[in-house]
Amino acid sequence: MLIDIVILPPESIRAKVGKKISFVAKNYPHNYVVDNIKLIPHLSLFHLRILKSKLDKLEQMVETVVGKYKSFQLKSVGFVKYDKDLVLQFRISKPATLSKLNRDIIQRCHKFRTGELLSWYKDYPFPRLDKLYIKKYGSYWSTGKNFDPHFTMVKYKFVDDGSRMTKKMGNFGFKFLADTVAVCEINKHGQVIKILKKFKLKA
């Protein structure tokens, strides 16, 4: 199984961003759009490949880690395009509590992983630091210096369309109380296709 441990925004926020990005992206060719129907908006904390037989133990560990934390505020800090990867993302604020939660989740949960996250890792010329992350944690996404909080919303097909969609988003933004961590199933693009179990942070 491909798993992502995530901050799951409230349903109202997921619906709001899903509706907006669906409207903006509908006339532009894309590989996927995170519409809150087929794909669910989320903030990734740790991606891993895991055997289904280990899922219960992983969920127990996540519950243990989450139990140490109080809920905290997050907000969007811009909508940006990355033409190298052809993706559009909401950048998210990075309070110290979020960074600590990311580190704790990775340190306590990476032992449950089974090999590397994706098969193409072995043939890709990663930078040295990313190779070290993959060797230790199975993935370089959201690990160490690569932890850059965001919601990925669209993977588009043509470079010029990234600028056009970004302009149409305007100053659209949001804020929310981060009070839920979830273990989710993801696809090969790292996008959430199913919420498996939710855990509440302390009020």
Cα–Cα distance measured from residue 43 to residue 41, given in angstroms and rounded to the nearest whole number: 7
Tokens 């933004």, located at residue: 173
Please write the tens of the pLDDT for every residue from 153-173.
999 999 999 999 999 999 999
Number of domains into which the chain is organized: 1
**Residue 165 domain-assigned (yes or no):** no
Share of the chain above pLDDT 70, in %: 100
Q: Which is it for strands 72-82 and 87-92: parallel, antiparallel or unpaired?
A: antiparallel
Cα–Cα distance measured from residue 44 to residue 3, given in angstroms and rounded to the nearest whole number: 10
**Residue 41 domain-assigned (yes or no):** yes
Cα–Cα distance measured from residue 124 to residue 119, given in angstroms and rounded to the nearest whole number: 10
| CATH number of the structural domain spanning residue 110 | 3.90.1140
pLDDT category at 144 given cuts 50, 70, 90 is very high
**Residue 170 domain-assigned (yes or no):** no
Stretch 80-86: mean pLDDT: 96
Cα separations in angstroms, 152 against 59, 115, 125: 24, 25, 23
Range of the domain at 113: 2-73+96-148+176-200
Please write the tens of the pLDDT for every residue from 178-201.
999 999 999 999 999 999 999 999
